[in-house]
Copies of this chain bind each other. A is one copy, B any other.
Amino acid sequence: MTHTHPQQALAHAIRFLSIDAIVKAQEGHQGVPLGMAEIATALYTRHLKYHPQDAGWFDRDRVVLSNGHGSMLLYSLLHLTGYPAFPIEEIKRFRVLGSVCEGHPERPHGAAHVAANGIEVTTGPLGQGIANAFGMAVAEAYLNARFGNDLVNHFTYAFVGDGCLQEGVGQEMISLAGHLQLSKLILLWDDNLITDDGSTDLSISENVSERFRIAGWHVIELDGHDIEAVSAALDAARQDPRPSMLACRTVIAKGIARLQGQRGGHSGRLFEEDAQAARELLGWKHGPFEIPADVQQAWRSAGQRSAGDYQAWQARVAALPAAERAEFERVMRGELPANWQQVLHDYKHKAQSAPPAPSGIFISAEINDLLTHMLPERMVGCADLEAPTSHKRGLTAFSAHDRAGSYVHCGVREHVMGSMANGMAAHGGIIPLSVTYLAFADYERPAMRMAALMGLPVKFVFSHDSIGIGRNGPTHQPVEIIASLRAMPNMWVMRPADAVEAAECWELALAHQDGPVSMVFARQSLPLVRHTHTTDNLTSRGAYVLHEAACGPRQVTLLATGSEVLLAVQAREQLEAQGVGTAVVSMPCWELFNVQDAAYKRSVLGDVVRIGVEAAVRQGWDAYLGIDGGFVGMTGFGASGPADELYKLFNITPEAVVAEARRLLA
């Protein structure tokens, strides 16, 4: 079988670059790039709006390789179409330490790097990529509604494997994207009937196309090796008012006689002999990493296919009235508006006299509400907990009928909610919030990990952060989840003690551009513990002395977070009355404290008896307390009962703190 069609030669360029890179890397995972070469060729040469010399173009189409183990497909495309970060030398270093051609596609940190690099999101854990793509499509629809077709009007495409569609997060995405009728979301399913275990028959019987159709998707089934068929389907998809799924029947590892269409095609290794046999089978007469000039030229031309669109878009942006242009560019660059902190400073100041919100999470809700006019680019997703978390105030629902809404009712689907937020942040132009109970953080944890890995500025807001939720019982009481989030690199975990710290946390979280934040709020009330207004943001150093010892030199430091700071303050009163000089340190954000200098840390912690107070497990606290330090918190799961009774049951009280201090001082 040989192909002389010029388009087929373009596909073979992808295929053989992939084969050669995989052979050189002596690694597996060759099936996907080989099987999807024609699909990618159709997309990149005829339909995609992109600009390799400025991948930062705000109105480019977004492409996600959700089946990230086919990373060489993407690297081949980025090389062939002329992305600066992907010269042939890098292709030859596939999976070599330090190469941009990493095992799975890695979105670089920082928008500037994305521009040169062209990788929209890091993928690998299955299902995440399509859920990110969904988030991008939501972002596009919202920004399109705000800024109009002239400025934001693009598609989001995602390559998808079987695994992505088996994962729960993928299923949640199918359901929610269908509900929201995101017409510019187009999936390219690599329907190759093979997963790592072998035939998909081993684990799935359902008609996947039907599963999409019943969720409201436009589905086309086609031959994924027929470039014309793919192209026609893409045309139809772009016209259809529904989200589209192209079920592209393909042969995995196509071209490798030994493996194609078989289980080994998924992740078996490739050898020189396979490459040679493929060259003979497909009539590819060129050496390893050698692309004939006409094919190279055709690919470079494809890389320029949107040059006109790009220039016209630039001209439209340039022609905007100055204020409109500035606002558009501000939003798309992720910059905060001038004087954005003022509402937070005012709130913080007012907290000294205003009656506090009746619960910790409602403090966050008040702040969120204040930001509505300041930050129209903020979008809130919530997993069916609107009433108890209250982050919809002043917002309307984003829906199939209203793209100007900035609140997404995600249903009871925490996982896609988190991945959607990642996609919005990766898209740009949106400040995404993701809201649920802390006990359900585990449901979206795989998405949170990806946010941390990519350094995306997503705000994960959690309510009901301890046993303080009471009667719902231990399933809803996150005793270990704060620790598990603190374990995650590049994730800030903030647990404010009152409205003042909440405003400070929000200020820091919004300013934080290169990583996600978990903002953790109590369900119960958080009475004021900061009774003196400061213009400084005390939370910015992560931990600070709230009350210094007064009755004498400091003998005890009580370190606490969130709702337990008040307990520490009450314990301090008792200890001071007993003549024990006691300081209270509030620690709303360990990650910020950890990067302070040694002298500051020492001054805060004190070289005295230290006791941690947090209604959660001790893990992690030893780094501040020392092995012999005291701790008042949880040692296991919670129970069902009123919050105040639970605090007594688990001995998290001022009296217990005092007793612990006495024990350690004795």
A contact set with B: CB distance below 8 Å: 25, 27, 68, 95-99, 102-104, 106, 122-127, 162-164, 166-172, 175-176, 178-179, 195-198, 202-207, 210-211, 214-216, 267, 382, 384-388, 397, 409-416, 439-440, 442-443, 445-446, 449-450, 452-453, 470-476, 479-480, 483-484, 486-490, 617-620, 622-624, 626-627, 634-637, 639-642, 645-646, 649
Q: Are B203 and A97 in contact (CB under 8 A)?
A: no
Which among B106, B162, B475 is the interface contact of A453 at CB below 8 angstroms? B475
Contacts known (A619-B483, A649-B97); A27 close to B102, Cβ less than 8 A: no
- Residues of B with C-beta under 8 A to A445: 442, 445
Give Cα A106 to B641, complex, Å: 13
Residues of B within 8 A of A179 (CB): 203-206
A172 near B176: Cβ-Cβ < 8 Å: no
Query: Which residues of the partner chain B approach A475 to less than 8 Å between Cβ atoms?
Result: 68, 104, 122-125, 450, 453
Question: Are B215 and A206 in contact, with the CB atoms below 8 A?
Answer: yes
User: Which residues does chain B contribute within 8 Å of A95, judged by CB atoms?
Assistant: 471, 640-641
A412 cross-chain contacts in B, Cβ below 8 A? 126-127, 162-164, 166-167, 195, 203
- Contacts A203-B410, A210-B214, A472-B104; is A195 near B640 (CB within 8 Å)? no
Closest-by-CB residue of B relative to A413 is B166
Structural contact, A104 and B640, CB atoms closer than 8 A: yes
Given known A-B contacts A207-B214, A490-B636, A476 and B124 have beta carbons under 8 A apart: yes
**Contact A169 B166, beta carbon cutoff 8 Å:** no
A–B complex contacts, Cβ < 8 Å, 11 sampled: A25-B471, A99-B640, A127-B412, A166-B172, A167-B414, A175-B204, A179-B203, A179-B206, A195-B411, A445-B445, A480-B488
Name the distance in Å between A663's Cβ and chain B's nearest Cβ: 15
Contacts of A627 in B (CB 8 A): 622-624, 626
On whether A384 and B474 interact (CB within 8 A), knowing A97-B646, A439-B125, the answer reads no
This chain: how many copies in the complex?
Answer: 2
Q: A411 touching B214 by the CB < 8 A rule?
A: no
In order of increasing CB-CB distance, the 9 nearest A-B pairs are A168-B168, A97-B641, A203-B411, A124-B475, A163-B412, A171-B171, A102-B640, A622-B622, A103-B473
Q: Which of A99, A102, A440, A649 lies at the interface centre, i.e. has the most chain B CB atoms within 10 A of its CB?
A: A102
Chain B residue with the shortest CB-CB distance to A106: B473
- Contact check, A166 vs B175: say whether CB atoms are below 8 A apart: yes
Q: How far is the CA of A472 from the CA of B267 in the complex (A)?
A: 12
- Evaluate contact between A178 and B205: CB separation under 8 angstroms: yes
CA A164 to CA B172, docked complex, whole Å: 12
Q: Which residue of B lies closest to A268 (CB)?
A: B387
Which one of B127, B172, B386, B472 contacts A197 once the chains associate, using CB atoms below 8 Å? Answer: B386
Contacts known (A106-B474, A488-B484); A206 close to B196, Cβ less than 8 A: no
Verify B166–A411 contact, CB threshold 8 A: yes
Chain B residues with Cβ below 8 Å from A416 are 168
Residue in B closest to A126 when the chains form the complex, CB atoms = B412
Interface-centre pick from A195, A412, A483 (highest chain B CB count, 10 A): A412
* Best-buried of A617, A623, A642 by chain B (most CB within 10 Å): A623
Contact B640 A103 (CB under 8 A): yes
Instruction: Report A650 CB to chain B, min CB distance, Å.
Output: 11
Q: Which residue of B lies closest to A452 (CB)?
A: B637
Question: Of B197, B446, B470, which is within 8 A of A409 by CB?
Answer: B197
Rounded to whole Å, the gap between the CB of A473 and the closest CB of chain B is 4
Of the residues B27, B175, B384, B471, contact of A163 by C-beta under 8 Å? B384
User: Smallest CB-CB separation from A165: which chain B residue?
Assistant: B412
Does B196 lie within 8 Å of A387, measured CB to CB? yes
User: Please, which residues of chain B bring their CB within 8 A of the CB of A210?
Assistant: 214
Cα-based distance from A388 to B263 in the complex (angstroms): 13
B124 engages A472 (CB within 8 Å) = yes
User: From residue A484, how far is it (CB to closest CB) to chain B in Å?
Assistant: 4
Q: For residue A208, which residue of chain B has the nearest CB?
A: B214
Q: Which residues of chain B are within 8 angstroms of A637 by Cβ–Cβ distance? A: 452-453, 489-490
Partner of A489, one of B163, B168, B172, B480: B480
Kindly state the separation between the CA atoms of A424 and B211 in the bound complex, as whole angstroms: 28
Closest to A97 in B: B641
- Additional A-B contact list (7), CB under 8 Å, known A99-B640, A202-B409, A203-B410: A103-B472, A171-B175, A196-B385, A197-B387, A203-B411, A442-B449, A450-B475
- What's the minimum C-beta distance from A318 to chain B, rounded to whole angstroms? 39
CA distance A416 to B214 in the complex (A): 22
